[in-house]
Chains A and B, each alone.
Chain A
Amino acid sequence: MGMGLIGTVVAVVLMAVAAAIIFVFILIPVLKLLGKLFGHIGRTLVDIVADALRFVGSVLVIPVFMLLTVGSVVVGRWSATGHYGRAVSSEFKSAGLNLYRVAIGHPLRLIGLGLVIDGFEKRLPEVVAAAPGRDKPKGRKNQFDGYTIVGSLAGGGSGARLYIAEPDDLKLAAFERRGIADAQQVVIKAFHLNEGSSLPQIIRESRALDAAKRLGLVLEHDLTEERFYYVMRYVPGDQLTLVAQRAHADSGAHGLNDKQLRKLLGHGRDLFSTLSLYHSGGLWHKDVKPDNVVVDETGAHLVDLGLITPLRSAMTLTTHGTEYFRDPELVRMALRGVKVNEVDGAKFDIYAAAAVLYSMIENSFPAHGGLSQITRRCPESVRWIIRRGMTEYDKRYGSMKEMLADLDFVLASNDPFAVKPAELPSMKGGHVESAEPVLDENEAFLASVAAARAAHPGPAALHSPVPPKPEPHTHLGSRPRLQVTGWWSGKYRVDEQGAGKMDQMAEVAQAVMPPPPPARSVSQHARARNASEQLKSARARAKERRTRAMQRASAHRSRLRGRSRSGLNHGAAVAVGVCVGLVSIPVTLALLPASGSSTTANSGNKASVNIGNDAVSLTVGDKNISAEKTPVSYAELYDDRGRAVVLSMFSPPVEAGMKARIEDSLEALRQIGFEIVEDLDVQAELRKQRELAPSDPKQAAKSMWKWIDEQDGAYDLALVLAPAPKNKPEDPDKLVALMAGEDNYTWSIDPSLSDIVTGVMKSIGN
């Protein structure tokens, strides 16, 4: 009996324990699993229903937008047409995406096949977006004389189109006469005002071009009324990103094997060497990243000259570049308004080059900046190089040569893993002189370029848009040393070796530098005081403008964004084509000519850039605006010019041609950096001023000049576009433009666009 009871109790306890175990280890996980499963199914169903409803919503709203598009076409509201057209396009995309999700995406995710469609949803759009554009430019007039287009490349962020081309025999002969041999294929980078490029982009690129010409990277450039292009050698290779991915695929998950490591370090060496050459030439590449390094059988070549900046430029730092390969310190400095020549831009390239080395080793990007950890197989000495390159601005390598010397040391060893950081040249005190005299660098640079051009160029020189690798320096120059011989008297003597070096530098200076300016006379010094006062005043004005510019920066940017989408896009064109075709073909036919004149605000803006050896100028129509400007000061032309009050004195209805001219003038002002003030009160004040002024254009412009002066710097330009007086009532309407700035005033009767731009520049003292 007792035993039976004990047995029962034990059995119950065991069963309870078993039940608890089953509950804890089986039931709870199963329930959790079921919960997750039902949750997953529930969420997916909700998503399906939501997307289905969105699809229905899009389908319902599309016809409404199409009707609005057609209506806008009929009443001639072209801006609204573009707006509604974009909305139709957006709705079509949205509907398609929702349909795809409902029919394919969600069901596949429901059954756990989400990874299958990742390729379609993530990689496919990325690859499509990165695909090259048209293989050939549209229309005969857009071809390039002397070149046959054979392909295209994906454009970058500069708004340019990139074509691969083959020069004809005449071009090849011309290249050979200039010492450029075997340029069988070239890349043409073309900016077209009517194909999405803007003047600021062209200006930025032209600055880079001027610098690139000094490096011998640009073979030829040309301009027409509406486009600007330049020609570079073609490097038929793969981007470093792809090469690194392949190397990692070949090596395994833990990192690069010895063979691939050495190969990629070699590419890194090529990059460092090229950058060293850039810096020697006084240039900062500014956009070093794996995608801008092309690898072929001869090595790695740095491409994309779009952001090249002279190290001694007086421009303010900008934040251009690519995140993760751009030193955050650069952004901080740019925000503080630091000038390029106040920092060592080469150090930012050093950061980027180290980040590229990191990306090769890790097959990833340095998401943590200088703190990014290297988790894959990598020699400690290479880690050190990367870290020293990516550390704080004032602690990183002093020059690219120093970094290159360290990497060379690693590559020269039989086993890179055996090299300790302590053994690197930069750590042993036998480091390369970081503060190298620029003249010696120029000498080395010029010698290397000259040697490359004079001799039969090697394969690297033939296919690369970068100059050949520099020969190792046999000497690294140092500044002449002064030895003080008497502290009390201040006597000193120049070190002999240094003096010899000084002579050598002087010779090079004569060869590469412009002659020094003549010594100033006493009277010139006296005038300098006036100049400094002027400078002080100019700085005060600039500061005031900067303050105003900061206050309106956000609105200005949004306007720029809006402008970049101006005009009819593809979706709108399709929508208009379909709807108008269905509704009213005759109406469409009747309106086609109007469409041509009003949708292309740039069509009348015949601006082009002329880049000479020493100067860059802007040609608008048949007028040359700034022939005397250097590229840097030319770029300054396009800085924030201030606020312009524009007033049209034409009474509605304004004739279409005149309306287009007024709009073109506004667009031109925006293009050259003005913010158009849209305050009706201010315009009313200006109108009153104009109405009170005499009808004579000169007096009227002078009156506006006074008005601008009375505004205490609130506005920088007044532009009044009014009907010109008629001699006879039947005379056609003419335009008179009155322009007044802080410095000057002018007027022009029946001006072309270029006359207006020229007058505006004159008015503001340019």
Chain B
Amino acid sequence: MLTNVTTGFIDRLRGNDEAAWFELWETFGPVLRTQLTKWGKGRIGAETVRDLSQETLAALSGSIDRYDPTRGARFSTWLLAIAKHVLGDEMDKRMALKRGSGKRGASFEEAWMTAAPEMGVDEEYEAAVFRAKVEAALRNVEKKADFVDFSIYRMRVLDGMPGKDVAGQVGVSEPTISRRLTKVRELLRVEMREVIGKFSFTEEELEEAKRNGVELNPSKADDGLFDEAIAEICHQQQELRRRDEESARYGGP
């Protein structure tokens, strides 16, 4: 079942809102590139991977009008299936060009619209998509929160600095640090609900935050676990982006 946020975002995509497309690209570009690189197994260079990830979004833009939310595809599967189609099409084109065999490109049967376990979506990919959503939420928080508050959150949670040290560095008391942390954490939860809602098509996807240790409706005791999960996700996402860029620079994963 789609949330209003999702349908609003889909509407923006359908309306060819460039900002919406850029948001999609910025959030999921690295995940798509990593997946395409993995599938390409060295057959396609970094430049081609970049082109293909862009073509994936272009194909998505072409198919967005035919998207039927009642058929139960996950958002992640939706993206991946289109990426797979684009890659397959590229490979077919190459083979056809190379051999002159006249083999036509892959047909787009819209299998991606249905829940398709045979698509071979691995856990790593699903986790990467979720991490990308968390990263997008963090970016939103960075935009909305006060700079000092967000810096305190970064120092305490993402850098793992003790609260006392953070207080010393920023020149405020520890209780103030605690208050500001709570403020940013709550904002992050709100943003995560928003982002996960925006980039989720199924009920099951909406629940993935909890499955990943990120409780969006928590008790006080959950705060520590929430922070730990966010820090872990951020580190993994950072590593993904680092690999993505290295792959672009040096032509391989």
Contacts and interface: CB of A to CB of B under 8 A. Distances in A.
B147 A121 contact: no
B169 A373 contact: no
A392 B238 CA distance: 19
A421 B170 contact: yes
Interface in B66-83: none
Nearest to B171: A422
Given A391-B142, A420-B168, A331 B22 contact: yes
A368 interface: yes
Q: Which secondary structure dominates where chain B touches chain A?
A: helix
B135 A371 contact: yes
Contacts of B18: 335-336
A690 B147 CA distance: 66
B147 A388 contact: yes
A336 B19 contact: yes
A345 B151 CA distance: 24
Contacts of B138: 371
Contacts of A365: 245
B251 A121 contact: yes
A423 B245 CA distance: 35
Contacts of B44: none
Nearest to B249: A126
Contact of B244 (A121, A367, A395): A367
Given A335-B22, A391-B147, A122 B251 contact: yes
Given A387-B151, A392-B142, A367 B242 contact: yes
B159 interface: yes
A320 interface: no
Considering residues B150, B234, B235, which has the most beta carbons from chain A within 10 angstroms of its beta carbon?
A: B150
Contact of B169 (A331, A370, A395, A420): A420
Interface residues of A, number: 37
A370 B142 contact: yes
Contacts of A371: 135, 138-139, 142, 234, 238
A364 B98 CA distance: 38
Given A365-B245, A371-B142, A395 B234 contact: no
B237 A368 contact: yes
Contacts of A368: 135, 237-238, 241
Contact of B251 (A61, A125, A388, A422): A125
A709 interface: no
Contacts of B250: 122-123, 126
Interface residues of B, number: 36
Contacts of A395: 146-147
Contact of A387 (B154, B168, B245): B154
Contacts of A420: 168-171
A652 to B, nearest CB: 31
Contacts of B172: 422
Contacts of A423: 171
Contacts of B159: 373
Contacts of B105: none
B98 A324 contact: no
A48 to B, nearest CB: 13
B117 interface: no
B173 to A, nearest CB: 12
Contacts of B154: 387
Contacts of B241: 367-368
Interface in B169-208: 169-172
Contacts of A336: 18-19
Interface of B: 18-19, 22, 26, 98-100, 135, 138-139, 142-143, 146-147, 150-151, 154, 158-159, 168-172, 234-235, 237-238, 241-242, 244-245, 249-252
A-B residue pairs, 5 tightest by C-beta = A422-B171, A367-B241, A335-B18, A122-B250, A395-B147
19 contacts: A57-B99, A123-B250, A125-B251, A126-B249, A126-B251, A332-B19, A332-B22, A335-B19, A336-B18, A365-B245, A367-B241, A367-B245, A368-B237, A371-B139, A371-B234, A373-B159, A373-B238, A388-B151, A421-B170
